[in-house]
Structure 1
């Protein structure tokens, strides 16, 4: 008795999603003869196969599917497959966990761009008048605002505002660095004069630099000498 050899023939098919939408670009592989084809824009494909061959359907955004060609499908020469979209799990967004997110990291502003304070922006907008700019004014290509600001004294006022703003920032740093108890018990500064002593300290260039550099050791070293000077001034004023 001669064994019957299964023959191959061209099988046509269609791949869909939810039995409705035809899927283009789906890889269809006959795992027996290793032939692979890709579905067209209507989800159609044709592949050489025989009964009981296994067709493998795969795509990036869909769950893989393996389908055996049964006798009826082989006789009809038609096969269909329906793929399930892959579910995408999104990580939970925790605000504190992503505290490093900023306008720079998102590309909204250039990295390392200098950030100006309110007073700095006002001064930059106002401009800074220099005598040489009179030549530009005569030539007709100089902006008038810097001239008017210099005449009105607005630029000078804005510079003073910027200086005061910087001092307030330093004052805030001092308040975060030293408690009132430290001024009273360690430095022996009268409680009513703590605020005045803080202003006295931020006027000192070396101490201001140590605050800006976040050099706590240097700040603590310098503040002892400043406290001694401040108390002597108080004593002299009381005489």
Structure 2
């Protein structure tokens, strides 16, 4: 007996929870006039209804459902069903959608004044002749005699131009010597048995022994290939640099 009573109570509770209510409402436009034939959709149940000619609608639903309202020419709107909407009508206002207006070419019409209209539609022959002469003049090339310089005026000389002198190098041999000493480091020269006070003297000896450095001095830049060339030159001339010191 208790089991049957519990089952009946549970069934009634389930029906109450899932029972469908009806939402009533009215749809109007911005100027508060009724909007007929608006589609109303319950998103949860997918039920669709149309408003009547007075803008009224009725659709099944419950609290929390989303109702969508749309009609061609109006902005779409979504409304969530509240507890109040189950007991009182839902009022919805639609806004007209912005529409692009096709471009219209406005032509000048007749004014009714014969004197004015005759000038507008039939310009005088003198005006037409003057316009034609101006167009022909603009198409013609300028006479070289007009562009020629007058006596005493300065004329830009034509030709390949003139030299402004030798371009100064960015570096000199001292700059290059300082860079090589810094880039190679003291240990490099120590391994060659070159004492620190004689490093720049040794570098100058290598440079003046035929080491090509014109582009290095011009641009103030030593590439990795230039460093390797210098090191090769060192290996070739290190013995000749030390030879006079050995003979003493």
For the aligned pair, the TM-score class normalised by the smaller chain equals 0.3 to 0.5
Please give the TM-score of this superposition, normalised by the length of structure 1.
0.39
Please give the TM-score of this superposition, normalised by the length of structure 2.
0.37
The structure with the largest strand share of the pair is 1
Based on CA coordinates, which of the two structures has the bigger radius of gyration? 2
